[in-house]
Amino acid sequence: MKSFLLLTAALLLASATVAAAPNYEGRKKCGSCHRSQLESWEKTAHAKAMDSLAPKARAEAKKKAKLDPNKDYRHDADCVGCHTTGFSHEGGYDPKEPSKYLTGVGCENCHGAGSEYRLLHRKAGQAFEKKKQTTARQQLAEAGQEFQFEERCNACHLNYEGSSWKGAKKPYTPFTPKVDKKYGFDYAKAVRNDKAMHEHFKLEDVFTGPPIPPFRDEFQSKAKPAAKGKEE
Ligand code: HEC
Ligand code: HEC
Ligand code: HEC
Ligand code: HEC
């Protein structure tokens, strides 16, 4: 009986740790270790997504989508959800206190809210450096890191009325294939667009085992050497 109680207590503790929902923190933390990805990402349309909401920016595109090109949409709750990081989630973008590390479509929009898994990255990095010890990737998934991506892309790119994507709900994107065919979203093609995502850099395989992200081998086979940084 006593050991049963102990076991129950241990299980409760374990599930409490897993249940702690991760928060958004912004790209400063990620970028201080992953400097190459940060610098490459800074050149992408995702990084500059907030600029498109400013008055006069992309005036022709806005008119075509029946938006007002002179309006400032940078505080509009119908827009910022897809042009910032973690809007309406714990730690995410807040128009009342706009953090520059949460403007634009950032690391955590694709890789998941990072407060829990980034701690595991640090620990695993140290264990690898000191003893060449590797860490199971499964722990990262349990801490909220994303390895599939497609649903996250769809939630912004295919979120409109009449979309082929089942999860669509308001606020919708104004830029749909009905407005212009070029706004159609082909995931397999888009995810290979390094100019819109970020370029890929060599991993040392600190993490091992499932879930291995789709395209990992393809991207790593062409990856450049990474410039790493230390956490600030
Ligand atoms: C303290 C440094 C540090 C921080 C902070 C950090 N990482 Fe990492 N990250 C690492 C190390 C070390 C690895 C293992 C790299 C390798 O295998 O070469 C890694 C691996 C990764 C991987 C590949 C995981 C895999 O499947 O093998 C991704 C993606 C990643 N980090 C994204 C992020 C994001 C996004 C953030 C911010 C939320 C972040 N990291 C914060 C150090 C860090
Ligand atoms: C939080 C919403 C959001 C997520 C998640 C997101 N995107 Fe985007 N994406 C945008 C926005 C907004 C733009 C337009 C930025 C601008 O020009 O202002 C964009 C632009 C792009 C472009 C460039 C389009 C062009 O015409 O040049 C590509 C390609 C793209 N995204 C692919 C992806 C892929 C692949 C994923 C998932 C791995 C993804 N996006 C995830 C919001 C998102
Ligand atoms: C559901 C997500 C979502 C919402 C909500 C959203 N957008 Fe976007 N926006 C996107 C995506 C995705 C793109 C990239 C489209 C592409 O290039 O394929 C984009 C692109 C844009 C562009 C660039 C278009 C171009 O061709 O240059 C502008 C401007 C823009 N959005 C303004 C707005 C405004 C203003 C609002 C609010 C009224 C808004 N967006 C709401 C997802 C969204
Ligand atoms: C629009 C989506 C998107 C954004 C934004 C994004 N990533 Fe990625 N990232 C990916 C995809 C897709 C992969 C490829 C899957 C893999 O192999 O892990 C990837 C791979 C990685 C890797 C593995 C090594 C490599 O270079 O392929 C690291 C580390 C990483 N990203 C860090 C970051 C950091 C740091 C940021 C923010 C500065 C960021 N990512 C922003 C989608 C994104």
* CA gap 103, 26 in Å, rounded: 9
CA nearest to 62, candidates 218, 174, 140: 174
pLDDT, tens only, 54-76? 999 999 999 999 999 999 999 99
Spatial CB neighbours of 188, under 8 Å, sequence gap ≥ 6: none
Per-residue pLDDT, averaged over 146-169, amounts to 97
Q: How far is the CA of 34 from the centre of ligand 1 (A)?
A: 7
CA atoms within 13 A on the CB side of 110: 18
Per-residue pLDDT, averaged over 5-17, amounts to 49
The pLDDT of residue 117 = 98
pLDDT of 9 > 90? The answer is: no
Helix (H, G, I), strand (E, B) or coil at 103: strand
User: Ligand 1, closest atom to CA 147?
Assistant: 26
Q: How far is the CA of 122 from the centre of ligand 1 (A)?
A: 8
* Whether the Cβ atoms of residue 44 and residue 195 lie closer than 8 Å to each other: yes
Per-residue pLDDT, averaged over 6-27, amounts to 65
User: Ligand 2, closest atom to CA 105?
Assistant: 1
Per-residue pLDDT, averaged over 125-148, amounts to 97
Per-residue pLDDT, averaged over 41-46, amounts to 97
